[in-house]
C-alpha cells in the first residue's frame, strides 16, 4: 500500500514512471493497470492509422483493394444424371429340355457355336415312330384316292350318299392321324428356339433323356438382346420416364455405352420404395455377359437455360440462406462486391444449378469470395466464363 501510494503521488506530481520502474516496484495491480492503459492506447492508435491510410489512399489516388477473380455466369444446357448400380440380364438365356423320352441319338452342335432359330441341335431315338408315320401316309394316300373317286361318282348321281360320306370321313380321319404322328415325331428332334450361342452342352450323345427337371440338354444364350434393370427410388418417379438418356459404364471392361430407358415399372416395391427401370444394352462386340456389373446414370432432369455455379463460392448465413458475391459496377478492373441470396437445385460434380438470384452475364466472385464483404470495393484480376 505504501508503494502504491508512492507511485500515485509521483504521478500526481507529474513524474510518470517508466515501464522499467513499474516492473522494479513488483506491484502486480499497478502492472495490470499499466498494461490496460497501453492496450487502450494501442487500439486508439491503430484506429487512427486506418483512418489516415484510407484518407491518404483516397487523396493520393492509390487505394489498396482486395484482389479477387471473377467468372461470368452463362445460361447453358444442363443434364442431371441419377447414379445407380445394376446387373446385365438377357431374356434369351434358357435351358433346353427334350419333349419326349429316349436315347440321345445324335448331338449336332458344340459349346460356343452360334446357331440360328430353328436349327437342328440334337435328335432322339424315335422308337420306330418314323415307320408308323410312313404307314399312315400310305393309308392317307389310299383314303384320299378313294374319297376323290367316290366324290366324282356322287357328282354324277352314281352311288349312295352314305358311301360318299364314309369315304370323306375316312380320308379326314387318316389325315388327322398323319398330322398327329408327325407332330409327335417332331418331338424327337431338338431345335434352337432362337438365334444365339450354345453356352453349354449338358448331355452327351448316348444319354437317356426325358422331359422334366434334371434332363437339360443345352443352355443357349442370345448376347445381342441384353438389358439392365435398376431400382429407382420413388421420389424420382416424375423425372425418370421412357425414352430418356441412360449412360451405362462397365468397370470391368472400362467401356461406356449410351442407351435410352426402354421401360419403367408400374409398381412401387414396398420393401425398398423403388420402381424398376429397364435399359437395353447393345452388344456389338459380344464382350458383355449376363450378370456383369454396371454403373448406370439416368437423366432425371434437364434445363436448356441453366446457370451453374461452383459449390466452393457458395456460403450460408445464420438464417440458412445460401448466397454468393457478385461484382457490380465494374470499371477499369474495379468493382463493388454485392451479396446475392440464391436458391439452388440439382448438383452435378462440383457445380450446382442456381434457380434464382443470378442472371446470365453476372460477374461472380470466385477467388476471394470467402473474404470480401457486402459493399466492399474490390480489384478484379481476371474474368473467366462459367463452363
Confidence band, pLDDT 50/70/90 cuts, at residue 1: very low
Q: How far is CA 341 from the centre of its chain?
A: 31
Question: Quick check: 41 and 65 in contact, CB under 8 A?
Answer: no
Report pLDDT for 45: 92
Q: How far is CA 304 from the centre of its chain?
A: 20
Confidence band, pLDDT 50/70/90 cuts, at residue 29: confident
φ/ψ of 37, rounded to 5, equals -65, -45
Report pLDDT for 248: 94
Cα Rg for the chain, rounded, in angstroms? 46
Cβ neighbours of 359 (radius 10 Å): 12
Which residues contact residue 104 at a Cβ distance below 8 angstroms, ignoring those fewer than 6 apart?
98, 122, 123, 124, 203, 204, 205, 206, 207, 208, 209, 217
Report the alpha-carbon distance of residue 170 to residue 176 in Å, rounded.
Answer: 10
Average pLDDT value for the chain: 84
Q: How far is CA 228 from the centre of its chain?
A: 11
Report pLDDT for 385: 55
For 267-312, the pLDDT digits (tens) are 899 999 999 999 999 888 878 888 899 999 999 888 999 999 998 8
Report the alpha-carbon distance of residue 124 to residue 207 in Å, rounded.
Answer: 10
Rounded to an integer, the average pLDDT of 328-357 is 89
Report pLDDT for 8: 46
Q: Among the listed ranges 118-132, 222-236, 238-252, which one has the minimum average pLDDT value?
A: 118-132
Residue 32, classified by CB atoms within 10 Å of its CB into exposed (0-12), middle (13-18) or buried (19+), is exposed
Report the alpha-carbon distance of residue 296 to residue 246 in Å, rounded.
Answer: 7
Rounded to an integer, the average pLDDT of 11-31 is 71
For 184-216, the pLDDT digits (tens) are 777 888 899 888 888 889 888 888 888 888 788
Rounded to an integer, the average pLDDT of 21-30 is 79
User: Residue 249 pLDDT more than 90?
Assistant: yes
Confidence band, pLDDT 50/70/90 cuts, at residue 228: very high
Report the alpha-carbon distance of residue 250 to residue 86 in Å, rounded.
Answer: 10
Report the alpha-carbon distance of residue 34 to residue 20 in Å, rounded.
Answer: 11
For 54-88, the pLDDT digits (tens) are 677 666 554 577 888 888 989 999 989 999 999 89
151 against 6, higher pLDDT: 151
Rounded to an integer, the average pLDDT of 109-127 is 88
Report the alpha-carbon distance of residue 385 to residue 25 in Å, rounded.
Answer: 67
What angle, 0 to 180 degrees and rounded to 10, lies between the N-to-C axes of helices 161-186 and 129-155?
A: 160
Helices (H), 239-278: none
Report the alpha-carbon distance of residue 175 to residue 197 in Å, rounded.
Answer: 38
User: Residue 369 pLDDT more than 70?
Assistant: yes
Secondary structure letter of residue 115 according to DSSP: E
User: Residue 361 pLDDT more than 80?
Assistant: yes
Question: Quick check: 314 and 365 in contact, CB under 8 A?
Answer: no
Confidence band, pLDDT 50/70/90 cuts, at residue 372: confident
Q: Which three cell numbers stand for residue 200?
A: 453349354
Q: Among the listed ranges 56-70, 175-189, 241-255, 342-356, which one has the minimum average pLDDT value?
A: 56-70
What global pTM score does this model have? 0.55
Which residues contact residue 380 at a Cβ distance below 8 angstroms, ignoring those fewer than 6 apart?
68, 69, 70, 327, 330, 333, 334, 335, 363
Question: Quick check: 151 and 229 in contact, CB under 8 A?
Answer: no
Report pLDDT for 5: 45
Confidence band, pLDDT 50/70/90 cuts, at residue 333: confident
Amino acid at each position: 500500500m505504501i508503494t502504491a501510494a508512492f507511485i500515485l503521488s509521483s504521478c500526481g506530481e507529474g513524474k510518470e514512471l517508466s515501464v522499467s520502474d513499474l516492473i522494479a516496484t513488483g506491484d502486480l495491480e499497478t502492472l495490470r493497470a499499466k498494461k490496460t492503459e497501453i492496450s487502450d492506447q494501442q487500439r486508439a492508435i491503430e484506429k487512427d492509422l486506418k483512418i489516415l491510410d484510407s484518407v491518404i489512399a483516397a487523396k493520393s489516388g492509390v487505394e489498396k483493394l482486395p484482389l479477387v477473380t471473377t467468372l461470368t455466369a452463362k445460361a447453358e444446357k444442363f443434364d442431371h444424371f441419377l447414379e445407380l448400380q445394376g446387373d446385365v440380364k438377357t431374356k434369351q438365356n434358357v435351358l433346353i429340355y427334350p419333349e419326349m423320352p429316349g436315347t440321345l441319338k445324335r448331338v449336332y452342335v458344340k459349346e460356343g457355336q452360334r446357331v440360328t432359330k430353328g436349327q437342328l441341335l440334337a435328335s432322339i431315338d424315335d422308337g420306330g415312330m418314323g415307320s408308323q408315320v410312313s404307314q399312315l401316309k400310305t393309308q392317307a394316300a389310299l383314303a384320299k384316292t378313294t374319297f376323290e373317286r367316290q366324290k366324282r361318282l356322287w357328282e354324277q348321281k352314281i352311288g349312295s350318299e352314305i358311301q360318299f360320306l364314309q369315304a370323306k370321313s375316312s380320308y379326314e380321319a387318316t389325315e388327322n392321324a398323319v398330322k398327329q404322328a408327325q407332330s409327335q415325331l417332331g418331338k424327337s428332334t431338338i431345335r434352337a428356339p432362337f438365334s444365339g450361342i450354345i453356352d453349354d452342352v449338358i448331355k452327351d450323345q448316348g444319354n437317356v433323356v426325358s422331359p422334366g427337371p434334371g434332363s437339360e440338354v443345352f443352355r443357349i444364350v442370345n448376347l445381342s438382346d441384353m438389358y439392365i434393370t435398376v431400382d429407382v427410388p420413388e421420389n424420382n418417379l416424375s423425372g425418370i420416364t421412357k425414352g430418356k438418356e441412360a449412360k451405362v459404364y462397365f468397370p470391368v471392361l472400362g467401356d461406356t455405352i449410351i442407351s435410352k430407358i426402354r421401360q419403367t415399372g408400374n409398381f412401387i416395391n414396398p420393401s425398398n420404395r423403388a420402381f424398376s427401370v429397364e435399359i437395353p444394352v447393345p452388344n456389338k462386340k459380344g464382350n458383355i455377359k449376363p450378370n456383369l456389373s454396371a454403373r448406370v446414370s439416368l437423366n432425371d432432369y434437364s434445363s436448356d437455360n441453366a446457370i451453374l455455379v461452383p459449390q466452393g463460392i457458395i456460403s450460408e448465413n445464420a438464417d440458412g440462406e445460401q448466397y454468393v458475391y457478385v461484382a457490380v459496377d465494374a470499371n477499369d478492373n474495379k468493382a463493388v462486391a454485392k451479396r446475392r441470396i440464391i436458391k439452388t437445385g440439382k448438383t452435378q460434380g462440383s457445380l450446382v444449378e442456381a434457380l434464382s438470384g443470378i442472371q446470365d452475364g453476372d460477374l461472380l466472385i470466385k477467388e476471394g469470395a470467402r473474404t470480401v464483404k457486402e459493399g466492399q470495393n474490390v480489384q478484379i484480376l481476371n474474368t473467366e466464363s462459367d463452363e
